[in-house]
Amino acid sequence: MKIKSYFFSLFLFGIFSAQSYKAVYDFKWKPQKNATEYLHEDFALLINENKSSDFLSYIKFKNDSTKTKTVKDFKKIGQGSMSFNYKYGESKFNDVISKNYINKEILFQKQLYDKLFLVKNECKINWKINSEKDKLLGYSVQKASTEFGSRKWIAWFTTEIPVQDGPYKFSGLPGLILKITDSENEFIYEMKSITKETNDISERNYGVTNTIKLSSEKYQKIWEDYKKQPSSIFNYLTQTNNDGWTANYTIGGGNPNDKKYQEKFDKQQLEFLKNFENPIELKNDCL
């Protein structure tokens, strides 16, 4: 009976996990370590039939979903024009964290000006599962802890949703992470809702010609330079990629070769970067 019960459990796990979900998380963070108030923004975790997932701001998710539908409808017709009503500036995040459950890889995508950086990672997170249990959103949850990015983290996961994933880069527990915080409560991800639904954001990068694939170490160098002088990204040369379709973009309505435009861009971006002076990862633990 125990053997039959074991295989039956595996069978049920396979049935329930091979579904698509959208989990919405409230993310709160302290922009500076000594900040007295949190900033916050909603994020979506799109789970694709337990094969992969995408984690991105909810505003970007809505934009990317609309863009994907527009592009796919346009490609079916093969003629005409397209326009994208992107809500730039409403979200503080334009990055996407994509996890592949099969090969255990994480693809970090970040757009800086007109350049899209793709960084492939393997993040090994070693969890310690605690016996402490609780209830969140009506689900039975269990406590787990880990160290990641030189911070200590406490997570609450549920085996009632058999998806070994969670917000940001966190994954690997025997169930979905509903809440995770660092030990100093500077960063808090807490799930607000989860629904069974399929979403498509596959055409989110349509029209982006400056796509750069690079190592985590090289990206970190570019990111550090960007934080010191954002306009340094203008001088980063890339090879363009064209899949046969074309799109025209205007960013900021200025000339990146113009000194005044560079100064204005630096001023705006340095002010914006104050939102992230307290980094979620103090050290890069991903290869």
| pTM of this structure | 0.88
- Report the 10 Å Cβ neighbour count for 227: 15
Contact 112, 233 (CB under 8 A): yes
**Which residue, 44, 171, 153, 25, is CA-closest to 106?**
171
**Strand-by-strand arrangement of the 210-214 sheet:** 128-136, 139-148, 151-158, 176-182, 187-196, 21-29, 39-48, 52-57, 96-100, 105-112, 115-121, 210-214
Is the pLDDT score of 120 beyond 70?
yes
Alpha carbon distance 185, 209 (integer Å):
39
DSSP-derived secondary structure letter, 13: H
Alpha carbon distance 243, 201 (integer Å):
18
Is the pLDDT score of 99 beyond 60?
yes
Task: Tokens for 9, please give them.
Answer: 């459990």
Question: What pLDDT digit, counting tens, does each position of 256-286 carry?
Answer: 888 999 999 999 999 999 999 999 999 988 8
Alpha carbon distance 274, 268 (integer Å):
10
Residue 15 pLDDT level (bands cut at 50, 70, 90): very low
Is the pLDDT score of 14 beyond 60?
no
Question: What pLDDT digit, counting tens, does each position of 26-52 carry?
Answer: 999 999 999 999 999 999 999 999 899
Provide mean pLDDT across the span 93-99: 97
pLDDT at position 197 is 95
pLDDT at position 3 is 37
Alpha carbon distance 136, 179 (integer Å):
9
Sign (positive/negative) of CA torsion 8, 12, 15, 17?
Answer: negative
